[in-house]
Amino acid sequence: MKSPIRLNKVAAFAAAAALGLTMGVAQAADTIKVGTFLSVTGPASFLGDPELKTMQMFIEDANKKGGVLGRQLELIHYDDQTNAKNAATFVKRLIAQDGVDVIVGGSTTGNTMAVIKQVEKAGVPFVSLAGAGIIVNPVKKWVFKTPHTDGVAVGRIFADMTAQLTKIKNAAGIQAFLYCGFGAPTSIVAKNYAQLGISVPHYQTHGSASARFIKGAEGAAEGVRLPAAALLVVDQLPDSHPQKSICSAYKAAYEAKFKDNISTFGGHAYDGLLIVTQAMERAGSTDKEKVRAEIEKTNNLVGVDDIFTMSPTDHLGLDNDSMVMVEVKGGKFSLLK
């Protein structure tokens, strides 16, 4: 007959093992779920690729430091292939099947607009990574965004163009050329501009704020000016700049991990995650309404792309002064003083 003491020890061990397994399952299930849909492939992959890499890096780093509210972050990602219908399908899945706590994503305006009704109806905090002002204007209760709008970018360009326009105000014909776009067309426009021998100042918007624009233009981007996030020229920022430290750290980490140049598009994703995780910390909860309310209270938050101050009437939190003007010189972006 086996010893009662040994049986008790075996039973105790089995119980402890079962308890540990149960706790492990519970802990695994108790992650904070961050949903995202990005254009990692397709025409807008130059946006989605650095966005996904940045989100993976951010979450990996956050989890190593203990996560948020003592819980690990779990990234649930779908590649919408730059297709609005795919975006709508994936967001439905994120909400209904995956049960995400927040959504940070939407590489393009079209894909973002395709899901807004869903997130508003479901009541899920959503931070878009797309550019158009219509995303947050008029304000939508559950929708926020991190990139500057085209309106903000053009406003910054106009402020910089004043001196040059004054000098050439008596010249006949056009005084400057401005192209608003993103992706491969930005490089094509630069090439055509150079081939035509146009001599007036050439401006583009923050949609061209990527090394891919310069590379694709094959030398024709020289002299092009555009507004961009400070991240793009972080090495040229004075030490006193409020974003110098966080931008430098992001640049070093991203380039070391992925062996690729940073872009402001990846910065949009970083700032989106920074905004929602800090909102959760302030809320002390992942309760969706509490998190949404705290996102709306974001105040002077220094990110890698921007410094954000939001409100019930402003779900972007940026203005013209939040951008810097840069010029392509010697195949690189140079900060205009």
C-alpha span between 329 and 335 (Å, rounded) = 10
Identical topology for domains 28-149+243-317 and 151-241+323-335: yes
Q: Which helix (H) or strand (E) holds 332?
A: strand 332-335
Please give the pLDDT value at position 80. Answer: 97
Domain boundaries, the chain: 28-149+243-317, 151-241+323-335
Count of other CB atoms within 10 angstroms of residue 35: 25
C-alpha dist (Å) from residue 33 to 37, 266, 286: 13, 20, 10
* Homologous superfamily of 151-241+323-335: Response regulator (3.40.50.2300)
Highest-confidence segment of 15-29, 47-61, 252-266: 47-61
Please give the pLDDT value at position 208. Answer: 73
Written as six digits, the tokens of 142 are: 């559950």
Q: What is the b/e burial string over 71-95, where b = at least 16 CB atoms within 10 angstroms of the residue's CB?
A: bbbbbbbbbbbbbbebbbbbbeebb
- As a whole number, mean pLDDT of residues 152-177 equals 51
Query: Residue 13 above 70 pLDDT?
Result: no
CA angle, corner 145, sides to 59 and 109, nearest 5? Answer: 105
CATH 1.20.1600.10 fits domain 28-149+243-317: no
The count of C-alpha atoms lying within 13 angstroms of the C-alpha of 243, restricted to the half-sphere facing its C-beta, is 26
Beta bridge partners of 225: 203, 327
SS3 track for 4-57: HHHHHHHHHHHHHHHHHHHHHHHHHHCCEEEEEEECCCCCCHHHHHHHHHHHHH
- Is the separation of the CB atoms in 98 and 35 below 8 Å? yes
pLDDT tens sequence across 248-297: 999 999 999 999 988 888 999 999 999 999 999 999 999 999 999 999 99
- Is the separation of the CB atoms in 306 and 271 below 8 Å? yes
Query: Residue 167 above 70 pLDDT?
Result: no
Query: Residue 10 above 70 pLDDT?
Result: no
Choose between 179 and 70: higher pLDDT.
70
Query: Could you tell me which of 225, 218, 224 has the C-alpha nearest to residue 191?
Result: 218
pLDDT-derived band of residue 54, with 50, 70 and 90 as boundaries? very high
- As a whole number, mean pLDDT of residues 12-38 equals 60
- Is the separation of the CB atoms in 325 and 336 below 8 Å? yes
Written as six digits, the tokens of 161 are: 């163009």
- Give the pairing type, strands 307-308 and 324-329: unpaired
Please give the pLDDT value at position 89. Answer: 98
Question: Does residue 102 sit in helix, strand or coil?
Answer: strand
The pTM is what?
A: 0.79
Tokens 């020289």 appear where? 222
- Is the separation of the CB atoms in 201 and 297 below 8 Å? no
Residues whose CB is less than 8 angstroms from the CB of residue 40 and which lie 6 or more positions away in sequence, other chains included = 48, 49, 52, 79, 81
